């Protein structure tokens, strides 16, 4: 931690700052320049509250130089983590994983139709919510366990893996019986009780970035799951809320290389929730892959205009076909491959091994 001393600080104030740092277990190195005095506080204390020092008289600024997260950091693990989904999907590997499906599970007909067309077009994981975090309590809330059953059957019929959202601790056990990946939605990114419980789950967790969360906060949330013993965490950029109103959210593409630098965990992108408008999804999916996303997750519906949720951002299956055509070119151009499970058997090198 670096403490910059205010130009007008008195000798007494500086001594008090140094003493306080010692009291908290830091070693202190003082360097005095012509215009500025800076204190280097040595000693790694990831949970130290820098405000303890920031509020002292005579302090101009405090900078943390070590991350607050540990298990999620690149310094803890240099190689990329590869998350094994089922037997033969390796997310975080060189191959880009395509996840697609409706916002909500609505019916057997909808899920089977989609599972068939999406598999044929190259998706390997089916998405769909049975428990929906809706802004209004009067909107469709999801089919619950009936929906999970429908989705599992559709996945099994076409060899797809299944990702679905868990909103509450009370749903974990039920969802674990059906899903291959448990999704934590943007609104729950800081539901620490839920994250802690998922740390005990034996299935991968897809953790979406909160609407107003920094990449640092996303990694702190991942740390909750990792510290509980579940090392299979996939991060997801899904757009953040900004002053821009022409899209539902603003897709922060830079978070992809930023996360890759800070963490060994894989990160995928969800352009559907990021832009919220159907015709902006394909260009942002292309861009996310070009930026290094390890996968993309998009909403597709056989009849988007009559979807129970997020119809306006859901692609028609023909548009998903177009998306696949375009992203395959980008994937090849950046020297990656498309995840095509079943074609190759590889060994996962997740950090558990």
Residues at the site binding ligand PEP, with contacts judged by CB under 6 A: 103, 129, 133, 165, 185-187, 208, 238, 273
Q: Which is nearer to ligand PEP, 161 or 238 (CB)?
A: 238
CB of 92 to ligand PEP, least distance (A): 20
What residue 133 binds from Mn ion, ligand PEP, none (CB within 5 to 8 A, per partner kind)?
Answer: ligand PEP
User: How far separated are the first and last CA of the chain, in Å rounded?
Assistant: 34
Q: Which is nearer to ligand PEP, 64 or 187 (CB)?
A: 187
The neighbour count for residue 176, using CB atoms within 10 Å, is 15
CB of 310 to Mn ion, least distance (A): 4
Q: Which is nearer to ligand PEP, 142 or 317 (CB)?
A: 142
CB of 145 to ligand PEP, least distance (A): 17
88 is a site residue for Mn ion (CB under 5 A)? no
Which residue is closest to ligand PEP by CB? 185
What residue 113 binds from Mn ion, ligand PEP, none (CB within 5 to 8 A, per partner kind)?
Answer: none
Q: Which is nearer to ligand PEP, 208 or 264 (CB)?
A: 208
CB of 142 to Mn ion, least distance (A): 11
CB of 134 to ligand PEP, least distance (A): 8
Q: Which is nearer to ligand PEP, 103 or 315 (CB)?
A: 103
103 is a site residue for Mn ion (CB under 5 A)? yes
CB of 331 to ligand PEP, least distance (A): 23
Which residue is closest to Mn ion by CB? 103
CB neighbour list of residue 186: distance below 8 Å, 6 or more residues apart: 208, 209, 210, 211, 238, 273
CB of 127 to ligand PEP, least distance (A): 7
225 is a site residue for Mn ion (CB under 5 A)? no
- Binding to Mn ion in span 260-319, by CB under 5 A: 310
Q: Which residues bind Mn ion (CB under 5 A)?
A: 103, 310
């Amino acid at each position: 931690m670096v403490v910059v001393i205010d130009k007008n600080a008195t000798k007494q104030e500086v001594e008090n700052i140094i003493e306080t740092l010692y009291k908290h277990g830091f070693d202190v190195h003082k360097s005095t320049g012509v215009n500025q005095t800076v204190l280097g506080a040595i000693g790694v204390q990831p949970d130290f509250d820098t405000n303890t020092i920031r509020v002292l008289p005579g302090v101009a600024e405090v900078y943390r130089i070590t991350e607050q997260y540990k298990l999620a950091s690149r310094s803890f693990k240099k190689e990329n983590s590869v998350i094994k989904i089922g037997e033969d999907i390796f997310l975080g590997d060189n191959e880009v994983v395509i996840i697609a499906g409706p916002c909500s599970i609505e019916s057997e007909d909808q899920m089977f139709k989609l599972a068939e067309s999406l598999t044929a077009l190259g998706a390997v994981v089916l998405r769909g919510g049975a428990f929906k975090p809706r802004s209004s309590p009067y909107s469709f809330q999801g089919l619950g366990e009936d929906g999970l059953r429908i989705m599992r059957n559709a996945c099994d019929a076409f060899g797809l893996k299944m990702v679905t959202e868990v909103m509450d601790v009370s749903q974990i056990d039920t969802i674990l019986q059906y899903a291959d990946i448990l999704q934590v939605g943007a609104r729950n990114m800081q539901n620490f009780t839920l994250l802690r419980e998922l740390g005990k789950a034996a299935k991968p967790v897809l953790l979406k970035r909160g609407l107003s969360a920094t990449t640092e906060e996303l990694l702190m949330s991942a740390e909750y799951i990792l510290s509980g013993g579940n090392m299979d965490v996939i991060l997801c950029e899904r757009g953040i809320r900004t002053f821009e109103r022409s899209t539902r959210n603003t897709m922060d593409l830079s978070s992809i290389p930023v996360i890759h630098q800070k963490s060994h965990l894989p990160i995928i992108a969800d352009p559907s929730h990021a832009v919220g408008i159907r015709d902006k999804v394909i260009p942002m999916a292309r861009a996310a892959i070009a930026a290094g996303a390890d996968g993309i997750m998009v909403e597709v519906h056989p009849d988007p205009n009559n979807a129970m949720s997020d119809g306006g951002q859901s692609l028609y299956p023909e548009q998903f076909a177009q998306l696949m055509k375009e992203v395959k070119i980008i994937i090849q151009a950046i020297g990656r491959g498309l995840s095509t499970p079943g074609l190759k058997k590889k060994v996962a090198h997740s950090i558990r091994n």
